[in-house]
Amino acid sequence: VRDLLKDIESSKEQGCIDLTKKFDKYDGEIVVSKERIDEIKKTLDQKTKDDVQFSYDRVRKFAEAQLKNYGQDFEVELSKGLYAGQKLVPVNTAGCYVPGGRYAHIASAVMSVTTAKVAGVKNVIVCSPPKEGIGAHPTIIYTADLCGADVILNLGGVPAIAAMTNGLFNNPPADILVGPGNQFVAEAKRILFGKVGIDLFAGPTEIAIIADAKADPEIVAVDLVGQAEHGYNSPAWLYTTSKRIGDYVIKRVPELIAELPDLPRENAGAAWRDYGEVILCDTDEEMATISDEYAPEHLEVQTQNLEWFHKRLKNYGSLFIGEETTVAYGDKCSGTNHILPTKGAARYTGGLFVGKFIKTLSFQRMSKESTKSVGAACARISRYEGMEAHARTGDARLRKYGFSN
């Protein structure tokens, strides 16, 4: 990845084009044309459009609710004549990566592009890996356009991350990169973090379920398999106080996996074999403690005491309360964002939300009178630190406004 990034920094667009031919066997247009978007709009079936709209409406509504209740511009007088405050300003350009390898992650376009646009980002650039002779998945292109993408690129993997970071194909450089991806995408974002902001360091997707004796064991098993199909290295964890449910899940999950089509069966089978866990606990508190230690990306709670767990749990990417909801709902269309922390990162961060695209900027303004105290203090502190030039900026104002140091 490091070598590829270095090559693309010098070879620029041609490097992206050459690597796209090599890795994706694609030699068509890179910047998706308006004609291509219009063609997709005309040819995509109405049901698919309706489903995307359904997801978009809810994600947008949720993002608007977040925006309304998250943060405000304000100003406060800290001392006489000294006013300080903050202003919320969206980043100028966001790069959104939408996976399209094993599966066409249509909902990822909704999650990232919609949230960025609601936050007020002026330029949203979308990259999604192309297929030979086709380009990016048509429904991904349609969805990205519907949600407000300004530019859509047929680029995947490292070329995509490099192109958005370096402002290639006549686009402004991204201020922040968001969206899930494979290990190469994650590593590219990690390496470039600092030159560009990122949403979070992402690993394979995860599911955990807290279940007591009253849970429906079939629902529990189905939900574990539902997330395990993402990939061979996707953990699926069950924390339960019921040995009966634990035994049922251990027997039933392989049966459910065996019934899947080839690719999901292969992914889920490997994930459950290598990363599946059933942890038998004595109490609700023990289940909560273990869950917080794992800090799962997605956490379902299927218990009698739903309210207690909601209040008690602290570490998770997104919480699904009661058997009526499930991870797939949040992944696709219910409204909450599915770009979430993995590999224990939920201990210190939540998932993608409007605030990721907004900078909280501080400001201050002062009266001349306030310099009497502030300027003098600044000069003294600066000299304590050995920063004489800093001190003299205060001195100059004290002299000008007729105050002694």
Q: Are 379 and 391 in contact (CB under 8 A)?
A: yes
**Counting Cβ atoms within 10 Å, is residue 194 exposed (0-12), middle (13-18) or buried (19+)?**
exposed
Residue 122 tokens read as 């002026």
- Say whether 64 is catalytic: no
Using the structure block, give the residue that is written with the tokens 């070598």: 3
Q: Which of 298, 300, 323, 338 is catalytic?
A: 298
Distance of CA 3 to the CA centre of its chain: 26
On whether the CB atoms of residues 233 and 315 are closer than 8 A, the answer is: no
Which of 175, 134, 174, 138 is CA-nearest to residue 49? Answer: 138
Q: Which two tokens stand for residue 273?
A: 């074999």
- Is 79 within 8 Å of 373 (Cβ atoms)? yes
Q: Calculate the alpha carbon distances from 250 to 185, 209, 216, 322 in Å.
A: 33, 14, 14, 21
Which residue(s) pair with 95 in the sheet? 125, 177
Which candidate, 270, 269, 310, places its Cα nearest to that of 291? 310
298 is catalytic: yes
DSSP conformational letter for 114:
I
d(CA 311, CA 272): 30
Please give the order of strands across the beta sheet that includes 74-79: 74-79, 82-90, 358-366
- The active-site residue, picked from 105, 137, 230, 297, is 297
Is residue 128 within 8 A of residue 99, CB to CB? The reply is yes
Q: Report how far residue 282's alpha carbon sits from residue 284's, in angstroms, rounded to the nearest whole number.
A: 7
Q: Report the DSSP beta bridge partners of residue 83.
A: 77, 365
The number of angstroms, rounded, from the C-alpha of 163 to the middle of its chain's C-alpha atoms is 19
What whole-number distance in Å separates Cα of residue 286 and Cα of residue 210?
11
The catalytic residue positions are 297-298
